Amino acid sequence: MRYLKAAGIGAVLLAMAASAQAAGTLRVGMQDDPDALDPARGGTFAGRIVFVSLCDKLVDLGPDLKFAPQLATAWSWAADGKALTLTLREGVKFHDGEPFNADAVRVNIDRYRSAPESNRKGELKPVTAVEVIDPKTVRLVLSQPYAPLIAVLSDRAGMMGSPKAIERLGKDFATAPVCAGPFSFVERVPQDRMVLARFPGYWDAGAIHLDRIVFRPIADSTVRLLNLQTGQLDMLEELAPSDAAKVEKDPKLKLRGVTSLGYEAIDINLAHGPAADNPLAKDVRVRAALEAAIDRKALNQVVMDGRFVPDNQAELPTSPYFNTALPVPARDVAKAKALLKEAGYDRVTFSLRTLNTPADTQIGEVLQSMAAEAGIDIRLVAGETNANIQAMNSGEFQANLVIWSGRSDPDFNIVQFLACDGFQNWAKYCNTKFDDALNRGRAATDPAQRAAAYHEAASIYLTDRPLIFLFHMTWLYAHSDRLKGFVPVPDGLIRPQGLVLE
């Protein structure tokens, strides 16, 4: 009996020790500092990385790109496609102790649909009403069938905030966000850190093995990697491709990667204020010349160590939504010069805003060199993420390198930048034929019909060239060999479930 008692105490002590080792603070190095930590207002990829630990969504996305239950355990469409009924998870609480239920979903969706500060209005435009059936059942009523809705609910428009906090804070929700995720908000110091603490009341608490997560924005990828190598960080996202080989050779580090749904592109200001008064904006032949001057394969080799996927469309070349009739064009300097001459120019000049990161700076420099050979001079302007967003919101740019982290539905890989009412349509591009193609793609439920609609949309933007797509990223992560359980997902987000620091 004494032996069994001692063995029992020993087992408890071992379990406590294992628990202590499994806990701890995960320190994540990020390339960018997020914008507002409010799902209604947020527009950056960095913000989505933080949100995934802070704000659970109605629907999640798995590594296989299939939708999975999160705060909603099931969903079903009406026969006419004009209503979506969601069954909600029971026993969920927000960080302030308020219960999650159908009325909370109504408050959140209605805020996203109508609040002055919301950037989600376009994503939820077909939703005309939110009906509370009972505490665990809610119905979204639509004006027309809307195939992308599940994808919408797997992103910021599906993130649930506490109704009490929404009522108290309103447009200032980002100052103290209260959600229903595995970690709660502690503090934010702009350009320095965001601190989250484990929420003991999380509905899936058994999947969380960390006490805290500290996100550290460090724009310089070399400095970010140095912090990981010296033990100041446990993990970093958006590792520079040129540094991947260093990580592979370090026995204390692990390199992880997954092909992204997202892309990087040149966003050209066509009609947003006085900055659009230039040849690049006014003449599509100049934009065509710029594209003809670009060698996407060489750009990938020089800057990305050949690890990315050169592309000219919003969808990966392997996607059924990629228009195969318009493949990635090869570089043609003679064609670029001829197009400029046809437009009436020997040389043209425009400014290109980039992030102040080594990778984006190098991309800008390579583009600058390629374009110059064709008679196009590029002035590079490097800035921090939020400064660039402010410039684009105000129209103070001629062209900008934009990064889109990608979505599982083709609609949300183009609508935000190119639809007439897109919430990040900084270029003020508006083509009613393009919008008509999007509307057909959204309303169709047959995959072939949807593909045909998005193929048509691609043919339109590839003719108008408001965006010149460059490549799809490969999400590259580096982490300490102490970190276990990380599974990369093509959306690029770092899910905390299952992560353990040994």
Residue 46 resides in a domain: no
The residue from 175, 206, 240 where one domain ends is 175
Find the CATH number of the domain harbouring 195. Answer: 3.40.190.10
Average pLDDT over residues 468-481: 97
**372 and 406 part of one domain:** yes
- Residue 99 forms beta bridges with which residues? 93
Q: Collapse the DSSP code of 295 into the 3-class scheme (helix H, G, I; strand E, B; otherwise coil) and give the result.
A: coil
Determine the pLDDT at residue 64.
87
pLDDT tens digits along 138-167: 999 999 999 999 999 999 999 999 999 999
Residue 326 resides in a domain: yes
pLDDT tens digits along 48-102: 999 999 999 999 999 888 999 999 999 999 999 999 999 999 999 999 999 999 9
Contact 68, 491 (CB under 8 A): no
Determine the pLDDT at residue 179.
98
**202 and 338 part of one domain:** no
Q: Collapse the DSSP code of 57 into the 3-class scheme (helix H, G, I; strand E, B; otherwise coil) and give the result.
A: strand
**388 and 436 part of one domain:** yes
**369 and 250 part of one domain:** no
pLDDT of 25 strictly over 70: yes
Residue 482 resides in a domain: yes
Number of domains, the chain? 3
**299 and 350 part of one domain:** yes
Closest CA to 194 of 95, 49, 411, 319: 49
Residue 372 resides in a domain: yes
Average pLDDT over residues 267-273: 98
The residue from 175, 207, 237 where one domain ends is 175
Rounded CA-CA distance 426/498 in Å is 38
Distances (CA, A) of 427 to 190, 270, 398, 431: 28, 5, 9, 12
Determine the pLDDT at residue 110.
98
Residue 5 resides in a domain: no
Taking the CA atoms of residue 45, residue 471, residue 377 and residue 219 in that order, the dihedral angle to the nearest 10 degrees is: 30
**372 and 431 part of one domain:** yes
**265 and 250 part of one domain:** no
**222 and 285 part of one domain:** no
Q: What is the largest CA-CA distance in the chain?
A: 97
Q: What is the 3-state secondary structure (H, E, C) of 63-87?
A: CCCCEEECCEEEEEECCCCCEEEEE
**305 and 419 part of one domain:** yes
Distances (CA, A) of 245 to 97, 225, 233, 307, 364: 46, 12, 19, 11, 23
- Counting Cβ atoms within 10 Å, is residue 155 exposed (0-12), middle (13-18) or buried (19+)? buried
Q: Collapse the DSSP code of 349 into the 3-class scheme (helix H, G, I; strand E, B; otherwise coil) and give the result.
A: strand
Q: Residue 402 corresponds to which tokens in the numbers above?
A: 């934009």
Determine the pLDDT at residue 4.
33
Range 232-269 burial, b when 16+ CB lie within 10 A, else e: ebbbbbbbbbbbbebbeebeebbbbbbbbbbbbbbbbb
Determine the pLDDT at residue 292.
98
Residue 2 resides in a domain: no
**168 and 233 part of one domain:** no
Find the CATH number of the domain harbouring 307. Answer: 3.10.105.10
Average pLDDT over residues 292-312: 97
Determine the pLDDT at residue 52.
98
Determine the pLDDT at residue 65.
86
Determine the pLDDT at residue 19.
38
Rounded CA-CA distance 174/37 in Å is 5
Average pLDDT over residues 231-255: 96
Domain limits for position 185? 19-33+177-259+477-501
**464 and 347 part of one domain:** yes
The residue from 175, 207, 229 where one domain ends is 175
Determine the pLDDT at residue 306.
95
Find the CATH number of the domain harbouring 94. Answer: 3.90.76.10
Position 325 confidence tier, pLDDT thresholds 50, 70, 90: very high
Position 445 confidence tier, pLDDT thresholds 50, 70, 90: confident
Residue 182 resides in a domain: yes
Residue 11 resides in a domain: no
**85 and 156 part of one domain:** yes
